[in-house]
Structures are given as C-alpha cells and as structure tokens.
Structure 1
Amino acid sequence: MTDRPIVITGAGGFVGRHLIDALRSAMPQAVIVATSARLRSGVDQALDTTNAQQVDELVRTFAPAAIFHLASLSFVPDADIDPEAAFRVILQGSMNVARSALRYSPDCRMAFVGSSEVYGKSFSQTDDPLDEGAVLNPLNYYASAKAAADLLMGQFAHMGLAVVRFRPFNHIGAGQSNRFVVPNFISQIVAAEQGRGPAEIKVGNLSAVRDFLDVRDVVRAYVLALQRPAWKGEILNIASGQPIAVFELLDRLIERARRPLTIISSPDRVRAVEIPRAVGDASRARSVLDWKPLIPLEETIDELFNLERRDPTPPAPFS
C-alpha cells in the first residue's frame, strides 16, 4: 500500500468499528479516514453516500489508495418498511462511491461489502453450502438492493475499477444491535438474570439454519484482501461453512443462563419470507486470501454474555 489514505464508509456501524481496529492492527502506519452518515465516536467526518457531491468532494480531497464501502442499511425489516430508501442507500450510494473512485482516484482499490442474502431462493435448491457461482435470487428488498449493487460493481470492474465483491454470511460480535437474533436472545436472558425482565425468552422461527461467524474473522478477510494484488471484480463468500439451527444456538445460550427460562413463541418475530437454510462455501477465500475463520462460536458467545452482563441493553425486536 502507498502512503495515501484508506477511506471507510459506514465506519460508525457495527462492522465498521471492528474494521478500523483490524486495519490499525495490521497497518499501524496507515491513515484511515472513517466516515459515517452521522458523526459519532471514532468517525472523522459525516458522509451521506447518497449525495454524489459529498462523495466526489471526499474522494477528490483524499485520493484514497483504498475504499472499504460498508455504508448500507443493515436490518432487513427496515428495507421492507422503506424500499425506496434501501435502494437509495445501497444501490445509489454504491454507484456514487464507485463512480467517484474511478473518476478522482482511478488506481484506487475498492472493497464492496455485499451480503449472502443475495442468493435468496438459491439456498433452497441444495443442502450443500453455496459457492459464488450460485444464482442471485433475492427474496426481499434488502437482498434485491444488495444484488443490484453487487452486479453494478461487476460493471465497474469492466470499466477499470479495481474492486472485490464480498458476500459475508451472518456475523456476530461486540457492538451489534440487539435487533439481531443472537444479541437479542442474550439481552433477554441477561435481563431475566438481573431481574429486569420476565423469566422467559421470546423467539421467532427456531428451525432456520444459518452460518455464523465472529465479526473479527470477517473484517480480517477484508484486510487480507487489501494486502493482495489488485482486484478485477472478484467475488468472495465469507462463511464458516458450518450449519447451525437457531434452536441449537438457543440451547447453547440457555445453557449459560443463570436462572431457568421459559421459551415463548412470538409470531411477530417471524419474517414473512424466511430462508430455511443459508450456509456458505468460502473455499475461494481460503484459496486466494489464505483465510479461514479462527474464532470458535462458543468463544464469541461467552464474550457477548460477559459484555451484556457488564453493560446491559434493553431487548428489542429482532430480524
């Protein structure tokens, strides 16, 4: 890498904060420009990626060596509520960033962070983990916007942008909103332990099978990509390849509870369209990045319990 800055969009979010830590650890001399839609701790400046002028000004000013484009909506139900906003942020925002990079920093490398949600109905075609050759067949507005942006990044690669397209599977870790399933379950359990809530845990669909990763393993893949030769639109799943049913995950969480709990099925916690099984094949990332998950799920769960017991948050609806 050169001495030019590394720009991160969406740096104030769950993954962005972990990516900053990973970059500082791997590249202590790097100049990191952290941006977010709103200024917050650890963010250098506000950036609305849907505003092309703001994006142009930032890229023209810093002429970055690399851009990690994380800015997005992260919660699937939010996209269902306002699909126009989802497409503005995910598709238009991604176009603005890629176009500015090509125009004002043409040798810049861009990491586009997409989502495994883009595979959608393709997951139902097989019980095997999906690789990057699976058909994009999204089932919700969030996934459709991510798929459109993913394809657009492929076009920009043909136009000369050095871009890599990541499709990460479910990742969890410190700082994730408890609107998501794992931190939500843990926050309910700890609230019950500490007498702040009933001795019960409300759940949605427990039969779904997912592929969970520690967020620190995910961002390590992003950093490894930056340390490899320039990209030309390559696509990389970031996945553990290890299926786990939500009911099995819940069992592991309840085993750590410090008081008995009753499981309550709550219909409002079930998505209208649910993918029964979503597991990824990350052989390509293993081959080209020498990457594999290193942090066991049990270790991540223990850390999340320790954090929640020390600094509890009220339970919220989850995805």
Structure 2
Amino acid sequence: MTKARALITGITGMVGSHLADYLLEHTDWDVYGLARWRSPLDNIQHLIPRINSKDRVFLVHGDLRDSLSMNAALASVKPDYIFHLAAQSFPKVSFDSPIETVDTNITGTVRLLDAARQYCPNAIIHNCASSEVFGRVPREKLPINEECSFHPASPYAISKVGTDLFGRFYAEAYGMTVMSTRMFTHTGPRRGDVFAESTFAKQIALIEQNRIPPVIKVGNLDSLRTFADVRDAVRAYFMLVTKNPQAGEYYNIGGTYTCTIGEMLDTLRGMSTVKDIAVETDPERLRPIDADLQVPDTAKFKAHTGWEPEIPFQTTMSDLLEYWRERVRTHKDFLTR
C-alpha cells in the first residue's frame, strides 16, 4: 500500500519545521517540504541527514510568487495532505512591503490552490490564515469566536483575510476539501526574532553573555494575547486534516493562557540569570495601529476534534529562552532587533 504524502509549504519556518517533526514521529507519511532555493535551513538542520538519504523527508523547490513552480511542485508530489503555512508573516514589515505581502499571501495562496485543483483535487488542505484577520476587536466581543467581524489592522492582516476567504471559495466553488484556521499567538523554539516574545528571549540571552547592555528594547507592552505552544499548534493542524475534515470550515485555534505583552516579558525576565534588566521603548518596534485584544473562543475546533493544548505557558517560555541561549552560545553576531 502506498504511503500518504504530505506537502508542507513553509517547512523551513518555525511552524513548518515543528510540523515536519510531528509527522515524522507520529505517522508513517512521507513529508515533502516546499522551500525556495534561498530559504535558510536553520530550523530543519536536524533533518538534513534524513533529507540527504531520502528517509521520508524531501525538499521541493517552489515559490508562492511563481505559478510555474507551484504547478511543477504539485504535479510532482501529488500530495494527499497539504499544510499551507508559507507566508510573509511579520505584520510590521507588511506596512513597508504591502504589495509583496499581498502577492505572497493572497495571490500565492491562489496559485497553490489552483495548482492543487489541477494536480491533486482530492487532497485534504489546511489553509493557514491568522487571528490577525479580526484585528481591532472591541472588548465586549471577547473572547473572539469565528463569526466575529473582520477589522484587520495591518496589510498582513488584510492579506490573511484574503487567504481565509480564498480557502473557503475553493472549497465551495470546486468541491475541494479546504479548511482555514485562524491560529492565535503561538510560539516556542525556532520562533523568528522579529516577534515580541522571541526578540525578548534573544535579548535576554545576549545580556546573559554580556553581548549587549542589560536593557531590553520593546514595543507595545499593553497588547493582550492568548499564548499557545507551537508544538500544540502542529498537533492541532494534524487533527484538523485527520479528524473528519469538513470542506469549507474555518476554525479559531489558540491556547488558554492570556496576559499582556508586558506580563509575558516579566515572565522571561524572571527566568534570567541577570537581575534588574531594564526595559526601554523603541519607537521602531511600534506598529502604526495594533490588534491589541487577541483572546480566542476555540470551542468550535475543540468540539469537532477533541484537541486541547497541553504545554504550559511557563514551559513554552522556558524552552524559547533555552533555544536562544543555545544560539547565542554557538553564533558570533546577531542583528539588534
């Protein structure tokens, strides 16, 4: 019997790399990762021996901004499952690069889904949108359920509205099994240093090694976030496509621990070996507008799949800090961001 094939777009990112780990450990599927030729391989460094020996994990060249490469990738792999995670995923950058963000996230999703429609129309597809689609939500609408209106607060968020809606369109128009998720804040090891909790952990690790002064540069500390661990997130994504998948459905997914960005920072500072680390607002880290109330209602997804987050917030933060401590120990120079 032929083994199932899963295609992960964005396998070199935090979520994609953890999803590859999960699938390799918990299934017998072959895992194909879509990557650009210039994609950094740090997050899948541990998989390179398996990639080299073609041991259940393979890299496929492709770029969401290139229709021909999408067609070639889907025609070659013909996956049974597609996890569409690749994106221009940093909201602040999207203010400076809105066209790139829209082309990658909206048009790129269309390129992928249309290639799937031609070459693997029966694939079960996870289309990753974002909680950022909800944007500026009034406090009385918390927690945010799936029917909350969209009020995106960045070009990135607008692009994820398009991603979300195109997923549902392909399900309804072409009978494809596409499901969209709005994952709320999720983090852990391998998180990019442009995101708040990861840049805080990186700065703490650099401070502990006397690489920078004992001052953490921050943006808006008042935003309210509900945190999940990336390893719980990828387990949710696996359950999405294997627990009676429903074409055209859309789900909020997220953790259960809610705090402000400032309180999250206090947790990380409390884990540091250096005490009395100062905090300084850096205007360059502030967005023109912010989605500052991100608290999910995940009852719909939990009722359908039985998923529950398992990894405590303290563990997630500790593992993130240890990830950066290891990187600081083994790397010479870092951008101050």
Tell me the equivalent position of 2:78: 63
- From 222, 232, 238, the equivalent of 1:223 is 238
Instruction: Report the secondary structure of 1:263's partner residue.
Output: strand
Amino acid at match of 2:213: P
RMSD of aligned Cα (Å): 1.7
Deviation at 1:144, TM superposition (A): 0.5
Match of 1:74 in 2: 89
Counterparts of 1:96 and 1:231, CA distance in 2? 22
Give the conservation status (yes or no) of the 8 Å contact 1:109–1:231: no
* DSSP-derived class of the 1:25 partner: helix
Letter in 2 for 1:50: R
Unpaired runs of 5+ residues, structure 1, are none
1:146 partnered with 2:160: yes
Q: What residue in structure 1 maps to residue 31 of structure 2?
A: 32
Contact 1:22 1:220 in 2 (8 A): yes
CA deviation after TM superposition for structure 1 residue 157, in Å: 0.7
1:134 equivalent to 2:148? Answer yes
In the superposition, relative to structure 1, how do residues 134 and 160 fare at CA in structure 2: closer, same or farther (>3 Å)?
A: same
Partners of 1:145 and 1:204 in 2: CA distance:
23
Cα distance, 1:267 vs structure 2: 2.1
Task: Tell me, yes or no, if the aligned pair for 1:101 and 1:108 is still in contact at 8 Å.
Answer: yes
Please give the alpha-carbon distance, in whole angstroms, between the structure 2 residues aligned to 1:263 and 1:137.
31
Paired residues, number: 315
The answer to whether the 8 Å contact 2:135/2:290 transfers is: no
Q: How far apart in 2 are the matches of 1:230 and 1:262?
A: 48
The alpha-carbon deviation at position 152 of structure 1 amounts to 1.1
Partner of 2:138, secondary structure, is helix
Q: Name which of structure 1's ranges 221-230 and 281-290 shifts more when overlaid on structure 2.
A: 221-230
Which amino acid is the alignment partner of residue 8 of structure 1? I
Post-superposition Cα deviations, 1:78-102, rounded to whole Å, max 9, x if no partner, equal 2211111111110111111111112
- Are 1:199 and 2:178 matched, yes or no? no
Question: SS state of the match for residue 120, structure 1?
Answer: coil
What is the distance in 2 between the residues matched to 1:316 and 1:292?
Answer: 36
Length-normalised TM-score, structure 1: 0.94
Q: Contact 1:102 / 1:160 at 8 angstroms: preserved in 2?
A: no
In 1, the alpha carbon distance for the partners of 2:209 and 2:15 equals: 29
Alpha-carbon distance in structure 2 between the residues aligned to 1:170 and 1:2: 36
Scaled by the length of structure 2, the TM-score of the pair is: 0.89
| One of 105, 124, 130 as aligned partner of 1:115 | 130
Identity %: 29
Moved more, 124-133 or 194-203: 124-133
**Other structure's SS at 2:178 match:** strand
Q: Matches of residues 162-201 of structure 1 in structure 2 within 5 Å? A: 162-201=177-216
The one-character-per-residue Cα deviations of 1:274-306 (angstroms, maximum 9, x if unpaired) are: 122111111111111111110001011111222
| Pairs within 5 Å for 1:1-319 | 3-27=3-27, 29-38=28-37, 40=41, 41=45, 42=47, 44-121=59-136, 123-124=137-138, 126=140, 128-158=142-172, 159-259=174-274, 260-312=276-328, 314=334, 316-317=336-337
Q: CA-to-partner distance for each residue in 1:224-274, whole Å, 9 max, x for gaps?
A: 112222321111111124320111111111111222211222222211101
Structure 2: gaps spanning 5 or more residues: 48-57
Q: Using the alignment, how far apart are the partners of 2:148 and 2:256 within structure 1?
A: 15
Q: Contact 1:129/1:241 (CA < 8 Å) preserved in 2? A: no
In structure 2, give the amino acid aligned to 1:212: F
